[in-house]
Structure 1
């Protein structure tokens, strides 16, 4: 209650809704709502979070899920967010959702994109895309760790500056690509050809 009264005083002092929200958010930007211990934020990040909240929805307005996952940088474009929703790759609180679903603070969003599953809890509603340091302040990330990258070099890549491959090199590259595509199975020669009989 005391913080709400302080916010109303700030709104009255600044004479405007947006200015009051920016200052109020910057004042409370030093604490992290999802964490048990208050963690100080960089003043630039706190100001950017405040600006993002000010540009966010006013009282009673909502934010679409495709817009939110784009704004917090979970996906590169809003159209990709909408396509992910239509394809069934976005779930909110365990239910598959459409692109126009209205997301709320506290919702659990599960997104499968580019072979990785992201699990986040909504902390702030924003509409405009923000930088990465600000975006991580808008959700709590409960995602599993990303899968390890393969240590082997991809088959068929040549060193830079070695020139154009010879016919023999091209055959070797084709053979390596065929082996990689088949999971390491297959014999010598080009794919789809029978070995010569002597």
Structure 2
């Protein structure tokens, strides 16, 4: 559904992968970001529940499935409900580190 989709830069920020939306947008535009295996380079690319994101963060490759679009950038516990880890990165118990 279209209403369940959100810009990838906004979702990455709300899910607390990046400290600012600007940093998330720069990372999407300047690095290899994949959505469902397809490379994307536009921060406005829409993602929603079920999409699988693959991206570099802090020297590691993250693979996460979007569970929800979210409505705000809330606390880490709330942000952790927006995605499921598919790769078991180091420090997975911390709910995701910020870049």
Relative to the length of structure 2, the TM-score reads 0.79
Matched residues in 1 for 2:57 and 2:71: separation? 20
Q: Offset at 1:146?
A: 2.4
The answer to which structure has the higher strand fraction is: 2
Matched residues in 2 for 1:95 and 1:60: separation? 19
Matched residues in 1 for 2:36 and 2:80: separation? 20
Equivalent pair of 1:108/1:119 in contact (CA under 8 Å): yes
After superposition, give the CA deviation of every residue in 1:70-99 in whole Å (9 maximum; x if it has no partner). 101111111111111111332111111121
The answer to which structure has the higher helix fraction is: 1
Equivalent pair of 2:62/2:89 in contact (CA under 8 Å): no
Indicate which of 59, 64, 79 corresponds to 1:115: 59
The answer for the alignment partner of 2:20 in structure 1 is: 77
The aligned length equals: 89
Indicate which of 22, 29, 53 corresponds to 1:86: 29
The answer for the alignment partner of 2:77 in structure 1 is: 133
The answer for the alignment partner of 2:8 in structure 1 is: 65
The answer for the alignment partner of 1:99 in structure 2 is: 43
Q: Offset at 1:105?
A: 0.8
Gaps of 5+ in 2: 92-99
Matched residues in 2 for 1:78 and 1:109: separation? 17
After superposition, give the CA deviation of every residue in 1:142-187 in whole Å (9 maximum; x if it has no partner). 134329xxxxxxxxxxxxxxxxxxxxxxxxxxxxxxxxxxxxxxxx
Query: Which one has more relative contact order, counting CA pairs under 8 Å at least 6 apart?
Result: 2
The answer for the alignment partner of 2:96 in structure 1 is: none
Give the alignment's Cα RMSD to 1 decimal.
Answer: 1.8
Gaps of 5+ in 1: 1-58, 148-198
